[in-house]
Amino acid sequence: MIHFAWPGMLLCLPLPWLLARWLPVARPDGAALFVPFAATVAAQGTLGASPRPRWRQLLFVLIWLALIAAAVRPQWLGAPEPVPTTGRRLLLAVDVSGSMATQDMAGGYSRLQVVQSIAGDFIRRRHGDQVGLILFGTQPYLQAPLTTDLKTVDQFLGEAVVGIAGKQTAIGDAIGLAIKRLRADPAQAHHAGDTVLILLTDGENTAGAMPPLNAAKLAADSKLRVYTIGVGAPVENGFFGSSGNTDLDEDTLKKIAAATGGEYFRANDAGDLRKIYARIDQLEPAAGRDQWYRPSSEWFAWPLTLALLLSVPAVVLRGRS
């Protein structure tokens, strides 16, 4: 649609008429030159300028209208488009060790399948953020680097399978890989405090070269906030009721979160996990959720060019009129 950026310039439209209407006619000022044959000239014709030709008046009107049309700055606005903003940087570290095949969080679905569904919804909500994906088992792997292409990250998470990175669990190495990737990014200095790691696991650290708490200290030094999520249904323990997931090292996960300024969450089922990701959405809101812009094309050059072209005959033919 057409839009005028400076519509106030239309107030200048009657300016030539106002000047001609209210300003007095210019009169010669100072001593007059005596010309002996002036009387003869006066007798042959009437002194004064001849009236301006009508075509020339029309030409000046067109030039002025074209200048006003350029001054209001016409633009063509396109359809609204989302702004590709750069907000927070989120890395999701997801445990794909052998125990993630356990079907105890929702009927007929494994822990990993529940995580894929709920974390996938979380990823798709992060408009304006850069999201990356780390899959870890015995070793961690960067499945998707930080990117605004949320659809691809969601796809990579959905394609993950249990055991793809080994059967054991290397929590410390997963945190270490996240730190390494962030330090390798030259933009890290500009995102201090806006970088988050969400680490999800159902077990304890049983592999890897870096102890989890040492990795947490390095993460704190790198200003990387770590939110830890422990998943798995509680295990019944006879007369004493539920004793929790016996493979889950909740104490270490709590210390990792506390050392980095994050939080620890416990998910016993799919409902708990959905609430956890909603809570993280509140703690770390997406930056560019409702930002849009309309691309515009400037059209002022066309009437300005017309005014310049019309001024050529107005000047060239002046002496012939």
Question: Is position 41 within any domain?
Answer: no
> What total of structural domains would you count in the chain?
2
User: Residue 46 has what pLDDT?
Assistant: 46
Question: Is position 278 within any domain?
Answer: yes
How many whole angstroms separate alpha carbon 142 and alpha carbon 119? 17
Quick: pLDDT tens for 17-56. Answer: 888 888 776 666 655 555 555 455 444 544 444 556 787 7
Which stretch of DSSP H or E encloses residue 198? strand 195-201
Tokens 């310049």 found at: 308
Which of the two residues, 108 and 213, has the higher pLDDT score? 213
Do residues 298 and 279 both lie within one domain? Answer: no
How many whole angstroms separate alpha carbon 199 and alpha carbon 183? 18
Do residues 144 and 198 both lie within one domain? Answer: yes
Question: Is position 8 within any domain?
Answer: no
Residue among 115, 106, 209 nearest 160 (CA): 115
How far apart, in Å, are the Cα atoms of 229 and each of 66, 93, 253?
Answer: 66, 10, 8
Question: Is position 4 within any domain?
Answer: no
Q: Which two tokens stand for residue 186?
A: 């030259």
Backbone angles phi, psi at 56, to 5 degrees: -75, -35
User: Residue 175 has what pLDDT?
Assistant: 96
Q: Kindly report whether the global pTM for this prediction surpasses the value 0.85.
A: no
User: Residue 193 has what pLDDT?
Assistant: 54
Q: pLDDT averaged over the chain? A: 83
Do residues 114 and 190 both lie within one domain? Answer: yes
Do residues 306 and 215 both lie within one domain? Answer: no
Do residues 218 and 314 both lie within one domain? Answer: no
Do residues 109 and 253 both lie within one domain? Answer: yes
Which residues fall within 8 angstroms of residue 311, CB to CB, at 6 or more apart?
Answer: 63
Q: What is the DSSP string of 247-265?
A: T--HHHHHHHHHHHT--EE
User: Residue 252 has what pLDDT?
Assistant: 96
Q: Are 143 and 116 in contact (CB under 8 A)?
A: no
Give the domain CATH number at 231.
Answer: 3.40.50.410
Quick: pLDDT tens for 125-137. Answer: 998 889 999 999 9
**Residue 69 belongs to domain spanning:** 52-79+294-321
Q: Is the pLDDT of residue 150 over 90?
A: yes
Quick: pLDDT tens for 163-215. Answer: 999 999 999 999 999 999 888 765 554 555 578 999 999 999 999 999 999 99
